[in-house]
């Protein structure tokens, strides 16, 4: 067994708490910001714009920051992102209009663009010999963050409307200090193709990954942008909304922990299809506007389906030859950001006509993307057969 250096041991110990707490603060804000916007008098369209505003930057900035992290180091960008985000969270309590929230969320998108590509590339490089193992632990860690974050938001919102933002600030600032004190960038693996000629197949895998994570973030982003405010207006307590978020996070974390290695090609594609179809099924209680336990079931199914889709897609994106992990992570996160932009914007338009329309649209998106991926699986099989025949010649 290869002996790990002290730097790598510290990295493996601290990087997963960083992922957990970072996403806990993201989950906390995802519940708290729409509720704050509701109290500031935001309309349905304004709620959609607020939900999508951070994604305006997140559509393209992660790809750029991924390249920057490959050049200047993952730890530096992670540390800068956490410290800047900690300072930004102190601005939320002093916003007075929905427009102010839009501007703050844009900055939040920029700082998240610094954080997540660097964090994912750090994990993939740290576990270069077994990327699936590292990504599984990473997914469980940030998935657990979503168990803690929405529940914490529900509790804090019952105490004071602006308290969640001060808590998020403290957590991010402490994490930034931890990164400075404990983490060092792991050695990079030099780019190599290992003599493998099937470049078309790897590109197809990454295209499927991008499409899948777009669909996942479209659905999840639109639900998180609209349901909390709709629930509060329907006299569902913030604590109940937080508990629904807990169901979402808990099932996602459990699904992450049960996921085995994601195969390349058709096997990985089938897993993404199952995730998309499960997310579509999760939309039924929201679309039909059932109350009570049905909403909990919807959040639980959404958590499980999004976990399956996310874990399969990030594995397809980061596994394989090549050392440019930051670039690949950035492209992955940009696809995710595009979904988080498109979902709330589509919701802002559709919910202005009918409050439940966005959930029906989400159901259709999941089914259509699953069908497209199935077609890509057929294309993958044809490419593989062509490559085998070419190698035999």
- Tally Cβ neighbours within 10 Å of residue 124: 26
The per-residue pLDDT string of the chain (393 residues; one tens digit each, 9 = 90 and over) reads 344 444 555 556 677 888 898 989 988 998 899 889 988 988 878 887 887 787 788 888 898 988 888 888 888 888 999 999 999 999 999 998 988 999 999 999 889 888 998 888 888 888 877 777 888 888 888 888 878 887 888 889 989 999 999 999 999 999 888 888 777 766 555 544 444 444 556 677 788 888 999 999 999 988 887 888 788 777 788 778 878 877 888 888 888 888 776 656 566 777 888 899 999 999 988 888 766 678 888 899 999 999 999 888 888 888 765 567 788 888 888 998 888 888 888 888 887 778 788 899 999 999 999 998 888 777 767 766 665 555 555
Nearest C-alpha neighbor of 274 from the set 286, 257, 285, 262: 262
pTM of the model: 0.77
For every residue of 51-113, which 3-state class applies, written as one string?
HHHHHHHHCCHHHHHHHHHHHHCHHHHHHHHHHHHHHHHCCHHHCCCHHHHHHHHHHHHHHHH
Cβ atoms 241, 228 nearer than 8 A? yes
Whole-number CA gyration radius for the chain: 20
Rounded-to-integer distance, Cα 335 and Cα 385, Å: 29
- Tally Cβ neighbours within 10 Å of residue 353: 8
Cβ atoms 343, 218 nearer than 8 A? yes
Phi, psi dihedral angles at 306 (to 5 degrees): -70, -30
Ordered structural domains, the chain, with CATH: 11-183+196-392 (1.20.1250.20)
pLDDT at residue 261, as a whole number? 66
Rounded-to-integer distance, Cα 162 and Cα 316, Å: 40
Rounded-to-integer distance, Cα 168 and Cα 44, Å: 26
Rounded-to-integer distance, Cα 79 and Cα 69, Å: 12
Rounded-to-integer distance, Cα 194 and Cα 54, Å: 39
Nearest C-alpha neighbor of 88 from the set 114, 63, 69: 114
Rounded-to-integer distance, Cα 236 and Cα 123, Å: 39
pLDDT at residue 200, as a whole number? 55
Q: Angle, to 10 degrees, between the axis of helix 325-353 and the axis of helix 61-72?
A: 160
Cβ atoms 63, 327 nearer than 8 A? yes
């Amino acid at each position: 067994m290869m002996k790990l250096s002290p730097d790598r041991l510290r990295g493996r110990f601290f990087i997963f708490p960083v992922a957990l707490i970072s996403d806990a603060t993201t989950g906390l804000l995802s519940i708290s910001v729409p509720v704050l916007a509701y109290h500031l008098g935001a309309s349905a369209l304004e709620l959609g714009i607020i939900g999508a505003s951070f994604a305006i930057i997140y559509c393209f900035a992660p790809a750029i920051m991924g390249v920057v992290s490959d050049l200047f180091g993952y730890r530096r960008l992670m540390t800068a992102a956490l410290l800047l985000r900690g300072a930004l969270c102190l601005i939320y309590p002093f916003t007075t209009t929905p427009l102010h929230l839009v501007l703050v969320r844009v900055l939040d998108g920029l700082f998240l663009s610094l954080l997540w590509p660097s964090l994912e590339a750090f994990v993939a490089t740290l576990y270069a010999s077994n990327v699936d193992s590292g990504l599984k632990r990473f997914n469980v860690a940030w998935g657990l963050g979503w168990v803690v974050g929405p529940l914490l938001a529900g509790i804090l919102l019952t105490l004071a409307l602006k308290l969640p933002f001060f808590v998020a600030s403290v957590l991010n600032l402490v994490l930034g200090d931890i990164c400075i004190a404990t983490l060092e960038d792991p050695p990079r693996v030099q780019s190599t193709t290992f003599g493998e000629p099937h470049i078309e197949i790897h590109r197809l895998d990454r295209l499927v990954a991008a499409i899948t994570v777009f669909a996942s973030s479209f659905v999840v982003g639109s639900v998180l942008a609209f349901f909390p405010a709709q629930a509060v207006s329907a006299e569902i307590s913030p604590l109940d909304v937080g508990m629904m978020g807990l169901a979402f996070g808990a099932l996602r974390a459990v699904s992450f922990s049960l996921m085995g290695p994601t195969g390349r090609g058709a096997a990985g594609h089938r897993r993404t299809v199952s995730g998309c179809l499960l997310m579509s099924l999760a939309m039924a209680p929201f679309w039909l506007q059932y109350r009570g336990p049905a909403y909990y079931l919807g959040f639980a199914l959404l958590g499980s389906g999004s976990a399956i889709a996310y874990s399969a897609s990030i594995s397809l994106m980061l596994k394989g030859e090549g050392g440019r992990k930051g670039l690949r992570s950035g492209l992955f996160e940009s696809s995710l950001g595009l979904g988080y932009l498109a979902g709330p914007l589509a919701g802002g338009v559709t919910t202005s006509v009918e409050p439940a329309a966005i959930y029906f649209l989400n159901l259709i998106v999941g089914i259509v993307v699953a069908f497209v991926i199935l077609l890509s699986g057929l294309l993958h099989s044809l490419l593989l057969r062509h490559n085998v025949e070419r190698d035999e010649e």
